[in-house]
Amino acid sequence: MAYVDLAATEARGRYSPPNGNDPQTIPDLWRESLPDGLIRTDLPDLTDEELNAIGWKGPIAMPTNIDYFTHSYLWNKETRQYDATELSEYEKQRRIQYQRFWDDLITTSAYTKIKTAACQSLLANTLATEFIALMSDAKNGHANITKIQEVLLEIVSSIVFNAEELAEIQTAFTQSGMFAVYTLE
């Protein structure tokens, strides 16, 4: 199989080599660290059990993109696993991708609902205007965490969203890292 079918090799996941180094895609050419230095070209064709038997550990569970917003990960050569450390509140705040949240939100039916409500209610209009201003500041590196949280809760409690719209907001929240600092409840 090797790199003839790179997609299939990559789909198997990542494996830590016998020396404990960081997980990698199974190589199609590998020199064993034994005195004879045998060169192997069959690693991608071996089963997981066969790879583990010659010292390759895997497949390794890799941190997800979502994990990035709440934890830092460091590869541990001894345990051959990632050690997770929860980020400080400051680091969580720094990792939020406000632009991504905004870009994702404005394409949803939930955003359309907010705009419709803003046309029909002074309260909704005020909340939407304030939220847009707060998001603009946040996208420029000046997030007012307390005020954003306050306005988010007011929007969710003042505008009636259906389950699909709430799911859209939650998806934008999750994909951008907002969930690590803010809540919708």
- Residue 1: the pLDDT is 47
For 142-164, the pLDDT digits (tens) are 999 999 999 999 999 999 999 99
Instruction: Answer with the one of 15, 36, 62 that is the final residue of a domain.
Output: 62
Domain assignment of residue 74, yes or no: no
Q: Is the pLDDT of residue 40 over 90?
A: no
**56/100 same-domain check:** no
Asked whether the beta carbons of 178 and 95 are under 8 A apart, the reply is no
Q: Is the pLDDT of residue 92 over 60?
A: yes
Q: What is the CA radius of gyration of the chain?
A: 24
**175/111 same-domain check:** yes
**104/163 same-domain check:** yes
CA dist 29 to 42, 102, 158, Å?
8, 45, 61
**43/105 same-domain check:** no
Q: pLDDT category, 45, cuts 50, 70, 90?
A: confident
Residue keyed to tokens 């895609």: 25
- Residue 43: the pLDDT is 87
Q: Is the pLDDT of residue 2 over 60?
A: no
Q: pLDDT category, 12, cuts 50, 70, 90?
A: confident
Domain assignment of residue 149, yes or no: yes
Domain assignment of residue 165, yes or no: yes
Q: pLDDT category, 3, cuts 50, 70, 90?
A: low
The separation between the first and the last C-alpha atoms of the chain, rounded to the nearest angstrom, is: 50
For 59-70, the pLDDT digits (tens) are 998 888 888 999
Q: Is the pLDDT of residue 15 over 70?
A: yes
**104/52 same-domain check:** no
- Residue 7: the pLDDT is 80
Question: Chain-wide mean pLDDT for the chain?
Answer: 92
- Residue 134: the pLDDT is 98
Q: How many domains does the chain have?
A: 2
- Dihedral (C-alpha) 70, 94, 155, 121: value to the nearest 10 degrees? -160
Domain extent at residue 129: 96-180
What's the token pair of residue 153? 């809760």
Which residues, 6+ apart, have CB-to-CB distance to 180 below 8 Å? 69, 70, 87, 92, 95, 96
**100/28 same-domain check:** no
Asked whether the beta carbons of 47 and 29 are under 8 A apart, the reply is no
The partner residues of 16 in beta bridges, in order of sequence, read: 57
**174/126 same-domain check:** yes
